[in-house]
Structure 1
Amino acid sequence: MPIATVNPATGETLKTYEALDAEAIERRLAAAQSAFRTHRTTTFAERARLLHRAADLLDEDQRDIARVMTTEMGKPVKQARAEAAKCAKAMHWYADHAEELLADEEPADSDVKDSGASRALVRYRPLGPVLAVMPWNFPLWQVVRFAAPALMAGNVGLLKHSSNVPQTALYLEDLFRRAGFPDGCFQTLLIGSGAVEGILRDPRVRAATLTGSEPAGRAVASVAGDQVKKTVLELGGSDPFVVMPSADIDRAAKTAVTARVQNNGQSCIAAKRFIVHTDVFDAFAERFTAGMAALKVGDPLDEDTEVGPLSTEQGRTDLEELVDDAVENGATVLCGGERPEGYTERGYYYAPTVLTDITPEMRIHLEEAFGPVATLYRAADLDEAVAIANDTPFGLSSNVWTREDAEVDRFVRDLEAGGVFVNGMTASHPAFPFGGVKRSGYGRELSGHGIREFCNITTVWHGA
């Protein structure tokens, strides 16, 4: 894949970049190793000062970098500005909390004495250079939620970003440099996917994190496993959005529209499968379909646009094939199901779509629809709702709408997902762990759990 900015609203190639050659990659790996030797010895206060500065600079740059993101991958520009603001907030959060999250832990006195020690503690120490393989859909946020905790822990970062967002990738390196982080602390590697294995096998790279597709996760995990290196994987999702009879149907349907089409529907944690109790199915379906059909599709740089183009032509083709397969096998199209009027030949647009009468034989029942396409299921009772929700290879997050405490308890107990959001839509926040189960990956980002993923958890024992 060429390293280039291709405007998905027009298909126009705006900028192209040469991939780093072997000599340039070696220089950057050496710089990362050198930077780690120094950065690991800095104080939390010094790291926090630099990260706060990076956050302030990002706030100042918000409008400019939002426009870059929108031009590179097509998200509505309002959402791009919100993403930049969220990143700055997360940087401030980790700058404020990292020292507390990584503070030494002292076991109970009785356990210390029982071990024969005069004193014992657990200390969190950085691992070294960490390779981050990141996707295009949240080109700032996906990186920052790795970089902020990693840098605060004393690690250094090597970013292999998706090849269609090179300007955003280069901006991130420049942001941390302008904030005062020493050379080599955070570097962008403009490389193709074929160069990842060699970098991951390099002994100077101590761990890797990947957000992306299941095949990409398998590839990175297999190499890291061969090298016995720690990995965190956040892969696909096909999150359920369950609506029970006691729910506020108007609010659930309105939220469902946002949950499905955020980021033009290209989000791993977007709700994709809407599982509705039969008693309220018709009422929900009517409101939800009307809301999806009313969305404004258009130029993502237009402040009023709610749904922009998909990021690539191939992404749209993949989505069209999923929808066509479903329709050919008996699915009913309640709205959409085609390229929107006015955008059949220009840009990578697809209309907000609702499908129902889904059966297990359809590809879309098990595959992730990465775009503004929702599947609508009818459930006879709570047991069937849980069964449909879990009938997926993914387990990233979930949404449940009910006012019954007993139902909430059942969903929290039985849904196979890394998160359960009750009467709201899935969102990520620096204070809460984020990640999935099954084929959605393993490990956690954000919160204390995330910052400790790339730490050497060290037992320090003193004899009597």
Structure 2
Amino acid sequence: MDVVDPTTGERIDSYDDHTERDVDDAIARADSAFEDWRDRPLREREALLASAADVLRENIEEYASTMTREMGKPIEQARSEVEKCAWVCDHYAEHASAYLQPEGHASPPGADVQTVYEPLGPVLAVMPWNFPLWQVFRFAAPYLTAGNVGLLKHASNVPGCALAIEEVFAEAGYPEDVFQSLLIPSDLVDGVVADDRVKAATVTGSGPAGRAVASKAGAELKKTVLELGGSDPFVVLDDADLDAAVETGAWARNLNGGQSCIAAKRFVVHTDVYDDFLDAFVDEVESYTVGDPMDEETDMGPQARQDLVEDLHGQVEASVDAGATVETGGEPIDREGSFYAPTVLTDVPEGCPADSEELFGPVAAVWEVDDEDAAVRRANDTQFGLGASVWTEDRERGERVARRIDAGCVYVNQLVKSDPRVPFGGVGASGYGRELAGAGIREFVNRKTLWVE
């Protein structure tokens, strides 16, 4: 696996792929490690997770720099990602015991009936490059602490991040082989899923990747959790705080170079405030500093790979050809590296890519709507259902509109985000299952009914 710095286009590192024999050996070691790990007291597993949080914080500069070099995330955002990984470790170190507490049930006199939560075994995680540490720790912190063991198939452009995560658990004192990174191409994933020793799989990534893993796992009757793409609406009603909506909305679209499944992608704005919002929104987007992600002043670095720039620009060009108007940006930046200009599109025709597809980069599409009902219809006019954001100074109105939007999570007067304290996931083409909080840690366990009389 060659690592190409997206800031310069130069190869900066290379890693040997694991072979099929290597993978078989890794699964065997994971299966063996599970037999001891599952019997570790939960409090011990929590303590080890707290140690992982310490390792992350102690090495924050190293891990942040690895992310920035491999996929172009601005260094300050990379540091924040490492800190968020430590936070999810802190959270489950504190709350896993409560989340996995046996649940009692009504029973006849003399009987004790409860649900207990027991681990399944080795779990495969297929993870993306856009948040190369956070996406993995969002999986690993709860599932390892529940007593499972992890096998990570990370994106091929972030192998250094994959090995760094393995290092975190080793430095924290986890037993050998409880967490392993597999440096393998996608065509070996089916074999891992089909292996009898692997008990479940989780995917964060594209729709095709999720469908492929889910199809194979379904044929093997194995549990899956899918967190796939999104085309999140950002609804601005006529009574919204425009300054806050503009500032937060622009950042919600362009954070991490716009490469986020929960980024605000479709801006649905009430006609009474449309012109003011659009003018301010374009100004805000144009104020961002795009450049070297190692520079502390940079707001947006390069896209993660050159092919992603080409794909994104193809979607923009097709949308413009269909009738969309470019308010700002609309093309790659003429400089070394994989840079794309922050872009705002209006007059977006139905069925063009900006309307019907996920744009995974710094491109915002803006619609004008006449009223609240039209805003809800536009927000729901998508195959995706990951997140949504609603802006209004009337909290009751915000909750009412939020309940009408078809999504796994809706935030009122806040950008969509994943938080260890609340369940996270989508509906429709955005996947199924939940990560984080109690719902997340209980996804990959046997919910065993235990009746004692």
* TM-score bracket relative to the smaller structure: over 0.9
Is residue 366 of structure 2 the alignment partner of residue 371 of structure 1?
no
Structure 1 Cα separation of the partners of residues 399 and 72 of structure 2: 39
Equivalence for 2:256: 263
Equivalence for 1:240: 233
Contact 1:397/1:420 (8 A) holds in 2 = yes
Q: Say which of 70, 76, 86 aligns to 2:74.
A: 76
Q: Secondary structure at the match of 2:296?
A: coil
Contact 1:399/1:422 (8 A) holds in 2 = yes
Equivalence for 1:459: 449
Equivalence for 2:301: 308
Partner letter of residue 150 of structure 1?
Y
Equivalence for 1:446: 436
Equivalence for 1:53: 51
Contact 2:399/2:412 (8 A) holds in 1 = no
Equivalence for 1:43: 41
Equivalence for 1:136: 129
Partner letter of residue 446 of structure 2?
N
Q: Which moved more, 1:177-186 or 1:19-28?
A: 19-28
Q: Say which of 320, 323, 337 aligns to 1:327.
A: 320
Partner letter of residue 24 of structure 2?
E
Q: Which moved more, 1:19-28 or 1:433-442?
A: 19-28
Specify whether residues 117 and 163 from structure 1 end up closer, same or farther in structure 2 by C-alpha distance, changes over 3 A only.
farther
Q: Secondary structure at the match of 1:439?
A: helix
Equivalence for 1:336: 329
Q: Secondary structure at the match of 1:125?
A: strand
Is residue 418 of structure 2 the alignment partner of residue 428 of structure 1?
yes
Partner letter of residue 449 of structure 2?
T
Contact 1:358/1:375 (8 A) holds in 2 = yes
Q: Residues 5-24 of structure 1: matches in 2 within 5 Å?
A: 5-24=3-22
Aligned residues between the structures: 453
Is residue 266 of structure 2 the alignment partner of residue 273 of structure 1?
yes
Q: Secondary structure at the match of 1:279?
A: helix
Contact 2:309/2:332 (8 A) holds in 1 = no
Structure 2 Cα separation of the partners of residues 333 and 192 of structure 1: 38
Specify whether residues 348 and 117 from structure 1 end up closer, same or farther in structure 2 by C-alpha distance, changes over 3 A only.
farther
1:375-427 CA deviation, whole Å, 9 max, x = no partner?
00001001110011011110000000012244323323210100110001011
Runs of 4+ residues deviating >4 angstroms:
none
Structure 2 Cα separation of the partners of residues 311 and 9 of structure 1: 9
Contact 2:124/2:151 (8 A) holds in 1 = yes
Q: Say which of 25, 28, 31 aligns to 1:27.
A: 25
Structure 1 Cα separation of the partners of residues 287 and 211 of structure 2: 39
Q: Secondary structure at the match of 2:88?
A: helix
Deviation of 1:364 after TM superposition, in Å, equals 1.5
Q: Secondary structure at the match of 1:135?
A: coil
Equivalence for 1:419: 409
Structure 2 Cα separation of the partners of residues 411 and 6 of structure 1: 44
Structure 2 Cα separation of the partners of residues 268 and 98 of structure 1: 27
Structure 1 Cα separation of the partners of residues 21 and 208 of structure 2: 28
Q: Secondary structure at the match of 1:124?
A: strand
1:312-366 CA deviation, whole Å, 9 max, x = no partner?
11110111011101111111111111122x42xx111000000000111312201
Deviation of 1:119 after TM superposition, in Å, equals 1.0
Q: Secondary structure at the match of 2:103?
A: coil
Equivalence for 1:397: 387
Equivalence for 2:199: 206
Q: Secondary structure at the match of 2:11?
A: strand
Structure 2 Cα separation of the partners of residues 238 and 66 of structure 1: 27
Q: Secondary structure at the match of 1:241?
A: strand
Deviation of 1:117 after TM superposition, in Å, equals 6.1
Structure 2 Cα separation of the partners of residues 327 and 407 of structure 1: 35
Percent identical pairs in the alignment equals: 52
Structure 1 Cα separation of the partners of residues 31 and 338 of structure 2: 41
Deviation of 1:285 after TM superposition, in Å, equals 0.3
The CA RMSD measured in Å over matched residues stands at 0.9
Could you tell me which runs of 5 or more consecutive residues in structure 1 were left unpaired when the two chains were aligned.
none
Q: Secondary structure at the match of 2:23?
A: helix
Partner letter of residue 404 of structure 1?
D
Partner letter of residue 23 of structure 2?
I
Contact 1:117/1:461 (8 A) holds in 2 = no
Contact 2:390/2:402 (8 A) holds in 1 = no
1:122-171 CA deviation, whole Å, 9 max, x = no partner?
10000000000000000000000000001110000000000000000001
Q: Say which of 90, 93, 111 aligns to 1:92.
A: 90
Deviation of 1:4 after TM superposition, in Å, equals 2.2
1:17-54 CA deviation, whole Å, 9 max, x = no partner?
12111221111111100110000000111111111111
Structure 2 Cα separation of the partners of residues 182 and 283 of structure 1: 57
Could you tell me which runs of 5 or more consecutive residues in structure 2 were left unpaired when the two chains were aligned.
none
Tell me the TM-score normalised to structure 2 length.
0.99
